[in-house]
Structure 1
Amino acid sequence: MAMPTALDLSVDAAALTAQLVDVPSVSLAEKPLADLVEGALRAIPHLRVDRDGDAVVARTGLARAERVVLAGHLDTVPIAGNLPSRLDADGLLWGCGTTDMKAGVAVQLRLAATLPAPNRDLTFVFYDAEEIAAEHNGLGRLVDRHPDWLAGDFAVLLEPTAGRVDGGCQGTLRVRVQTSGRRAHSARSWLGDNAIHKAAPILARLAAYRPRRVEIDGLVYPEGLNAVLIEGGHAGNVIPDTCAVTVNYRFSPDQSEAEALDRVREVFDGFEVVLTDSAPGALPGLSHPAAAAFLDAIGTPPAAKEAWTDVARFSALGIPAVNYGPGDPTLAHTREENVAVAAVLDAEDKLRRWLTA
């Protein structure tokens, strides 16, 4: 497969998506694509371009009253025999990253190239390693090292949302709920104390838990508390002396991480609860004037984001943020990943009208 040696930003966003997809960029191997993105942006005279690792940031400097940040990640999950891209007769572009999220990145690049005088100042963020552990996340690195590069009044993360606006995001945390017992030979089980058996009340409490549905700014965020892993046991003839149930709590953005952890500890009162990882949610931010104008331009009712996304990183900086992008999110990470050309062009058109009206 011959990869592009340069990006042609004069084509429409769907054709540009195909160019991006044909440059493999699995997490931690984004450099070739980041190089192409940086080169294309540096050729645009109305932008200032900065780079940190494989994250590229481009900004206008028009002294507008408001600045909007448009962000998207360059990396994909591992390729599943779905490169190079192909366009079928039904107007579907197939290939790894078409939906998640090179279509959104293509829209960003088209706007960067063709809006020299938008009605708001614009910051375009292209970052690395979103699809893997948070410690590698390029946007997180920019927040730590260069928060000034990300300054703005409103942000749009162009993750796939099937063309609707998803406000804010859930928070997420994981804990290990642990039990202990006494190890023994299974032939003399009465000499031991089975730690796996003692995990039964943990599962019972999970089964009995009724998750909240929390309304914020007219959007309803459903919570979830679920066992995602059980570990315990040593061998087929040993009574286990340890067991741990890993529980994932997806919580509404009206709670802080500390409040969410307190709620989980209440559910498992009497058990040892160890926090293993946590990330805050993000409030919808739809009351901001820029958000209202954005919703008018998109023209569809907003919904709550039923997942965690990097909008939380903008929210932590005090920047209201929403998710909006072309592509069906249920196709992300699948071998059958594809995006409709019409959806990509529609997203480009709606964002352009918002930024020029």
Structure 2
Amino acid sequence: MTQENVLSRAVEFAQTLVRVPSVSGTPATHDVIRAVEEILSRFSRSTSRIAAQSTGAPVLLAHCGSDDPNAPSLMLSGHIDVVPPAGMTDPWSAEIKDGRLLGRGSTDMKGGAAAAIAAFCEASQKDLKGSLWLILSTDEETDVKGVKAALEEPGAPRPDLAIIAEPTELTIRNEHRGDAWVRVDFQGRSAHSSRPHLGVNAIEAAALFIVRARKRLPEMQKEGPGIGPQTTSIDMVSGGAAPNVVPASASVTIDFRYQGEECGRIQEERILRVVEELRKDPDFPPVEVSTTITGDWPALSSSLENPAAQQAIAAIEASLGHKVEVTPMSGWGEGGYMHAFGIPAFYFGPGEGKLAHTPKESSPVWHIEKAAEAIYRAVMARCA
């Protein structure tokens, strides 16, 4: 292990991660895990293991400090997979230009992951009285199975607080909505298009459902304070076999952004209520209807009143030299799973979220440097 001020290497670590084309679901996600393992072996005094291997989306879990389960504890969290680099000319260059780190993942969220890694390595060289964890996933941009599976494993950590280094422009986000995807399948009966009366048209049923669902589903959803309205978005439609065949099947997939303790099952029940209403309409074809929850990711609503959060926020504010804004997050993140497993969590990291997933993705270098310092001070406030 190299003994030095590792915080100064946060940007270098970010460049190392950006150079790995770790698009979610590709073999390169294993390569980026190995890159982090190499950093930890050189710059930290820690133990690490690969969790959630059965999911095909490996999760790196590293630990340093006390093994006492009653010791003060903190987890640094993030993901090191990225979305495909659509529209980017040199997405893996990790070039620094005009004070910004360029490349896919520089914002979402390898800049933040690098800041967390640097803070973890620096803290690991100290005589920590508390317990410090680092967890990095590789499928946050797809189906998010890895971190859930890792937290379900025997002996998985349950720290006093998790800090997730998503791009927040060095502010704090402690709430976001949950997200559920529900597919609605319509099964009719095929026939030749010259004799449509012999068939049951699944696409017509789906079309009538869409018209009704656009009105009724929002009416069924409850509004909640603090994290924005619940939303319904009909995002995928498919069906039909050929232009001269009455379609026997069709499907509609709906994205629900929900509040608090709601879940995909509740959204599914609302869909079935809409279908029952439609069956009273004589124009609705006599199709069979089934629903499948294809994804369900829980909401985060984390109180910042607990001692661990108060310590961390005070340390972050001392590092930045000003009071930090606390607001909800519009999208979804792995803090939802932290909340589901009883771990208080908030987001704090470098970069502007509006640039994530865009051809112009980049992150201010000073953001990464400041985030590393602030996260390190939060760690020491809790674990030193």
State the TM-score, normalizing by the size of structure 2.
Answer: 0.79
2:76 is aligned to: 70
2:241 is aligned to: 234
1:313 to 337, 345, 348: 337
Distance 2:337 2:222 in 1: 24
Per-residue displacement from partner, 1:247-302 (whole Å, max 9, x unpaired)? 22121123244334333433443562412323241332224332233344353332
CA gap 1:182/1:114 in 2 versus in 1, 3 angstroms: closer
**Pairing 1:127–2:137 present:** yes
2:206 is aligned to: 199
Q: How does 1:56-205 map to 2 (within 5 A)?
A: 56-62=60-66, 65-79=71-85, 80=88, 81-89=90-98, 91-115=99-123, 116-117=126-127, 120-134=130-144, 137-146=145-154, 148-205=155-212
RMSD: 2.7
Distance 1:33 1:44 in 2: 17
Distance 2:276 2:12 in 1: 55
CA gap 1:189/1:258 in 2 versus in 1, 3 angstroms: closer
Partner AA of 2:192 in structure 1: H
Distance 2:80 2:228 in 1: 28
Per-residue displacement from partner, 1:116-146 (whole Å, max 9, x unpaired)? 2468532111232332334xx4323322335
Distance 2:20 2:147 in 1: 21
Gaps of 5+ in 1: 1-7
Tell me if structure 2 keeps the 8 A contact 1:9–1:40.
no
Distance 2:368 2:44 in 1: 25
Tell me if structure 2 keeps the 8 A contact 1:284–1:322.
no
**Pairing 1:344–2:348 present:** no
Tell me if structure 1 keeps the 8 A contact 2:265–2:293.
no
CA gap 1:194/1:26 in 2 versus in 1, 3 angstroms: closer
Aligned pair count reads: 343
Distance 2:363 2:43 in 1: 27
State the TM-score, normalizing by the size of structure 1.
Answer: 0.84
SS in 2 for 1:335: coil
Tell me if structure 1 keeps the 8 A contact 2:108–2:353.
yes
CA gap 1:251/1:185 in 2 versus in 1, 3 angstroms: same
Distance 1:21 1:258 in 2: 38
Q: CA deviation at 1:156?
A: 1.6
Per-residue displacement from partner, 1:14-71 (whole Å, max 9, x unpaired)? 2331222123333332333322322332345642333345433222223584211111
